[in-house]
Amino acid sequence: MMTYRERLLTILKGGQPDRVPWFGDLDYWANSLIKRGLKPEDFIWSDDYIQWHRDLGVGFYLQGYFPWIQTFPKCEVKKWYEGQRKYTEIRTPLGSVRDCWEFIPTSFSEAPIEHFMKSEADIRVMKYIYENTRFEPDYQRAARRREQVGDQGIVLCYLPHSPFMQLLVVEAGVEVVATTALTAPDEFQDLIKTMKKAFDQASRIAVDSPAEALMIPENLSSEMVGPDFFEQYMRGFQSEWAEKIREAGKFSFVHMDGTLAGLLRQQSSVGFTVLEALTPHPVGDIKIEDFRAWMRNSESIVWGGIPGSYFTANVSDVEFDRHVKHVLSVMRTEPKYVLGVADQVPPDALERRVRRVAELVEEYGKY
């Protein structure tokens, strides 16, 4: 019988393992257990975290790790907390920008309620920040993972988002990005180019890291990014770095965890080794058996299949088993799939559901 690592590497290299690989993102669940006092503070970076994956029968690959330190040598950065809100202010000779992220205890997550870039007027400050951004390698944790992971999986690190998605997801929000791109296209494009110069530094550091696989964590959903924005602002960055990852002898991933129908054709044509966290019907908008028909690149591996909500009591045991069996019936037709969570096991997950997947893969996942 193959190990989790052997199954995954066989698929990534174009071969066929003994059964469909099963790899799950447990990071969100683990962090909620830490915040509830059920796991120690250092759990995620300890040997026990990998052992937890072994005990649950889950392959390991993801820990949300950017292998660099980012600094702003010509800017003043101030951070503070007010209750559940975390503020960051960046002061420059051209002015200041501030964001705020609020932690939501009921969901063990945080979200932005104020972005750095609030309008076209902030572009000049944002450009100054990125013109004076520096990145330095921080490989200690990646090296530690190489020692820990053993036969349970692989070591994966992140590149930055593409500049467009960094603005959309983190620093400006969809409304400001869409408005600025349409009303001030030259200035917006200039900001994107400035950000890319900075992100190229971080991307090179990531590709040179001890990681075996590299992910651009785009968090793509096609109701936010359609084909036009993708082609104009994202394809170039993704294509360049997917190729550089390949040249480094490593495997390239892109994270696409939202609606798929409006963008899967474009995203699949870039040439990533893996399209990761794809969410199928009934939570997503494309059935698992139709994924391939929507993809332009037949060589890319589809990774995902089990919506996060399926690990909770909101879904019955009968429906959970039915769904996973159906997904496996598609995935075992050819070695171009990895069974995964779309996109994370949530804080209210039932442990028995996570354990159940390995049992179902054992029984129904053989090619």
Q: Are 200 and 171 in contact (CB under 8 A)?
A: no
**Residue 63 has what pLDDT?**
80
Same domain, 269 and 323: yes
Q: Rounded distance, CA 365 to CA 328, Å? A: 6
Cα Dmax for the chain: 63
Average pLDDT, stretch 112-123?
98
**Residue 340 has what pLDDT?**
98
Same domain, 226 and 94: no
Q: Which domain range does residue 178 map to?
A: 4-69+134-364
The two three-digit tokens of residue 33, written as one number: 């257990």
Same domain, 317 and 252: yes
Q: Rounded distance, CA 150 to CA 180, Å? A: 47
Same domain, 178 and 247: yes
Confidence of residue 362 (pLDDT cuts 50, 70, 90): very high
Question: Does the pLDDT of residue 62 top 90, yes or no?
Answer: no
pLDDT, mean over the chain:
97
Same domain, 266 and 125: no
Same domain, 282 and 215: yes
CA torsion through residues 251, 256, 261, 267, sign: negative
Confidence of residue 146 (pLDDT cuts 50, 70, 90): very high
Number of domains in the chain: 2
